[in-house]
Amino acid sequence: MNIKPLSPAKTVFAMKSLYLLFWAAVFITGQYMTIFLRDLSFTTDFMVGVIMSGGSLVATISQFIWGYVADHARTKNSILLTTIAGLLIGLFLLITPKHQGLLTLLPCYFFLFFFNTIPGMLIDTINVENIESLGASFGKVRVFASIGAAIGAFLLYLISLRITLSSTNVFIIAIIVGVTALVPASFLPATKGHAYKAKGEKNKTSYRVILQNPRMLLLLMFLLLTFIGVSMCNLFMGVYFATEAGLNAGLGMYGLFFAVCIGVEAFTMAFANRYLQRMNIYNVFTIVSIAAFSRALIIYASPNIYVMYLLALSQAMLFAPLWTHLTPYINSIVPMEMRATGQAAWSIMMSGVAPMIGSAMGGAIADVYGIRNLFGIVAVMLAAVGVVFYFLFRRQRKSFAGSEDD
């Protein structure tokens, strides 16, 4: 929880610092997880997909739980600190034993994923609810998450020039960076769960309210299908870029590659923020569809690591508009008392259900057709999803033509 109230300028600095540090740790953890699992002596591509899918299932269940708990908590800040600590403990447990089989691996892995996706959702929720009163722009604050991820990636590249990186070493660096994120997290404004009631009062909020909202429902379906494809790419992109299964560039060069990609994303959010904020939400969805498709196509068509750097453009197109608009948009279309639940709902789709399905499908397809062909299949799938939802969103836009949210 908030230790001591800060001035508006210092509070905004705490928000930026938290995004910077937390997302540096999250990038390091997320991008190297598949490589860590694949390096184990007893795993195959299909098994990696199943394990990642199981982790996403745990994340999906946990987001329902934590979203509800945060909405009903005295302060969301205490839940944020708890879940950051849980994530770091889970990561430590994952790398501590020398795994010889699933018996030791899975309990540690699932414990990690019970906390893995929650802090990011809560950070966004707390910051959005307080940003206007501080006289700041959410987009200009949120860009520090991308800057943090880019710094985390570049840090790994610099370290790789001195030592030979292993996935275990990478996770140790993530834990160290993640611990420092607890400091700015302690100074965020105390934010009450809007569904919190005094003892004896009843609360009537439920996920049914979210699912009965037509705009929220279509958004969740779009995120689900799009990020199934994105998750299939993410599952083996690191393996394809860094190992002998693909371009064999090494873990250090993979860090440099992602530093450039996320750096372009951060540059876009920072210097195009005013334009991004004026962008219609339905145009954002169209851009996201095009970017997700082009991302898969670039990976499939790249003959070497240098062509892969074109991915930086699609990375910026995919995430910069989405991060700028998604949290404020959801807060504008759900009841105030369900804002954390609303944020949990999209996080469930993007970080839970979609990776669960995408990881299982991706592992199976890679085993049968090869890792490179997986990206080509995903590109075709994402093109179809983009076309279908273009027309669905177009029809919805006409239905809500008079809404100020659009």
Over residues 291-303, the pLDDT tens digits come to 999 999 999 999 8
Residue 2 confidence (pLDDT) above 50: no
**Confidence at residue 373, expressed as pLDDT on a 0 to 100 scale:** 95
**Confidence at residue 345, expressed as pLDDT on a 0 to 100 scale:** 82
**Confidence at residue 311, expressed as pLDDT on a 0 to 100 scale:** 92
- Nearest Cα residue to 184 out of 84, 109, 262: 84
**Confidence at residue 375, expressed as pLDDT on a 0 to 100 scale:** 96
Assess if residue 404 is contained within a domain: no
What are the tokens at 7?
Answer: 């001035």
Residue 403 confidence (pLDDT) above 60: no
Total number of domains in the chain: 1
Out of 61-70, 115-124, 271-280, the most confident range is 115-124
Count other C-beta atoms under 10 Å from residue 389's C-beta: 22
- What is the separation of C-alpha 67 from the centre of its chain, rounded to a whole number of angstroms? 16
CA separation for the pair 302, 315 (Å, rounded)? 15
**Confidence at residue 199, expressed as pLDDT on a 0 to 100 scale:** 47
Q: Span 65-90, mean pLDDT?
A: 91
Question: Which of residues 1 and 196 earns the better pLDDT score?
Answer: 196
**Lowest-pLDDT range of 198-202, 320-324, 359-363:** 198-202
Question: Which of residues 364 and 204 earns the better pLDDT score?
Answer: 364
Residue 172 confidence (pLDDT) above 70: yes
Confidence of residue 1 (pLDDT cuts 50, 70, 90): very low
Confidence of residue 137 (pLDDT cuts 50, 70, 90): confident
Assess if residue 320 is contained within a domain: yes
Tell me what percent of the residues of the chain surpass a pLDDT of 90.
45
pLDDT, one tens digit per residue, over 307-355 is 999 999 998 999 888 888 888 888 888 887 777 778 778 878 887 889 8
Assess if residue 20 is contained within a domain: yes
**Confidence at residue 392, expressed as pLDDT on a 0 to 100 scale:** 94
Assess if residue 94 is contained within a domain: yes
Assess if residue 200 is contained within a domain: no
Helix or strand holding residue 197 (H, E): none
Give the chain's mean pLDDT. 87
CA separation for the pair 267, 143 (Å, rounded)? 8
Question: Which of residues 100 and 313 earns the better pLDDT score?
Answer: 313
CA separation for the pair 129, 120 (Å, rounded)? 14
Chain position carrying tokens 């569904």 = 195
Residues 6+ apart with CB under 8 A from 146: 23, 262, 263, 265, 266, 269, 319, 320, 323
Q: Span 109-135, mean pLDDT?
A: 91
CA separation for the pair 92, 125 (Å, rounded)? 27
CA separation for the pair 255, 237 (Å, rounded)? 12
CATH number at residue 38: 1.20.1250.20
Assess if residue 405 is contained within a domain: no
pLDDT, one tens digit per residue, over 249-271 is 888 898 899 889 888 988 888 88
Confidence of residue 404 (pLDDT cuts 50, 70, 90): very low
Please give the residue range of the domain that contains residue 29: 8-189+209-399
Q: Span 375-384, mean pLDDT?
A: 97
Chain position carrying tokens 């394809």 = 240
pLDDT, one tens digit per residue, over 83-92 is 999 999 999 9
59-62: long-range contacts, CB 8 A cutoff, minimum separation 24: 59/113, 59/114, 59/116, 59/117, 59/348, 59/351, 59/352, 59/355, 59/356, 60/348, 60/352, 60/353, 60/356, 61/352, 62/113, 62/114, 62/115, 62/117, 62/118
**Confidence at residue 198, expressed as pLDDT on a 0 to 100 scale:** 47
Question: Which of residues 336 and 213 earns the better pLDDT score?
Answer: 213
